[in-house]
Structure 1
Amino acid sequence: MNYLAHIHLAHITDTSMLGNFFGDFVKASDLSHLNNEHQLGVRLHRKIDSFTDSHAQVKALRRLFPKSIRRMSGVVIDIYFDHLLCANWARFSERELDKLLAHFYDEVQAYPDNIGDRFEQVRLGLLRYRWLSDYRYAESCERSFLHIEKRLSNRVIFAHEATQFIQQNENELHRRFLSFYPELIAFSHAKVKVLKVQISV
Structure 2
Amino acid sequence: MNYIAHLHIASVTQTSFAGNLLGDFQWQADPRNTEFYLGWQLHQAVDTFVDAHDATLRFKELPRLGRRRFLGIIQDVVMDYWLIRHWQTFSDEPFERFAQRAVNGLSQVKPDCPERLQGMIGSLENHNWLPDLGKSSGIARAIGSIQRRWTLGHHLEPFVQELDEIILQAEQPFLDLYPDVLEMAQATAKQLQQKM
The alignment's TM-score, normalised by the length of structure 2, stands at 0.90
Q: 2:103 aligns with which of 85, 102, 105?
A: 105
Q: Distance in 1 between matches of 2:160 and 2:51?
A: 21
Give the match for residue 167 of structure 1. 164
Question: Is there any run of 5+ residues in structure 1 with no aligned partner, and where?
Answer: none
More helix by share: 2
8 Å Cα contact 1:44-1:188 kept in structure 2 = yes
Change (3 A) 1:154 1:42: closer
Change (3 A) 1:103 1:118: same
8 Å Cα contact 1:18-1:108 kept in structure 2 = yes
Q: Post-superposition shift, 1:26?
A: 5.3
Change (3 A) 1:155 1:145: closer
Q: Post-superposition shift, 1:65?
A: 4.7
Count residues with an aligned counterpart: 196
8 Å Cα contact 2:64-2:159 kept in structure 1 = no
Change (3 A) 1:69 1:140: farther
User: Any idea what SS the aligned residue of 2:111 has?
Assistant: coil
Q: Post-superposition shift, 1:140?
A: 1.1
Identity of aligned residues (%): 26
Q: Distance in 2 between matches of 1:155 and 1:49?
A: 20
Structure 1's consecutive aligned runs of 4 or more residues displaced over 6 angstroms after TM superposition are none
Instruction: Encode CA deviations 1:146-200: one digit per residue, 9 max, x unaligned.
Output: 11111125752424x313434234443111111111111111111111111112x
Question: Which residue type is aligned with residue 172 of structure 1?
Answer: Q
Q: Distance in 1 between matches of 2:42 and 2:130?
A: 20
Q: Distance in 1 between matches of 2:131 and 2:76?
A: 15
